[in-house]
Amino acid sequence: MSENSYVKDSSLPCLHLLQSQRPVKPMAQVRGAWVEINAALNAGHTLKVIHQHLRQDGIEIAYSTLARYISRVRREQASQTSRTGAVASYLARRPLKTQALAERGFDPLANAMEALSKPRYSIRDAMCDGDPTKKKLI
């Protein structure tokens, strides 16, 4: 029996019980209530009022800690959206660029191979190495 089928077949009552319990760590509690906190902030409520309501709901956290945690969650969300947005925009542009280059017969090493196949410029040949008769005396 594979591990995945075991998880699907058993009910795991202790693990399912964790889903209904409030986390112990304050950051986890803020993350759990983030949808409501963010909605209240977007509605125009101050962080002070939100902090008071969280304390009434049983989440004991200092105001400064709450402000720090909210800032951290916002930064994480901003970095995730910018990262996924950059990847999505890159993936959207990349196939078109690659396709256009393939249609033109673009070879990225063509310039390098052409430059390496040409004979190099020799200053000794151009200046006759100081001997106009091209006789090597030494």
Q: Count CB neighbours of 66 within 10 A.
A: 21
The least confident of 1-5, 9-13, 121-125 is: 1-5
Mean pLDDT of 1-14: 61
**Is 0.95 surpassed by the pTM of this model?**
no
Contact 70, 64 (CB under 8 A): no
- Residue 108 exposed, middle or buried by CB count within 10 Å (0-12, 13-18, 19+): exposed
Sign of CA dihedral 62, 63, 64, 68: positive
Q: How far apart are CA 56 and CA 51, in angstroms?
A: 9
Name the residue among 126, 128, 109 with its Cα closest to residue 117: 109
More confident residue, 132 or 14: 14
pLDDT-derived band of residue 1, with 50, 70 and 90 as boundaries? Answer: very low
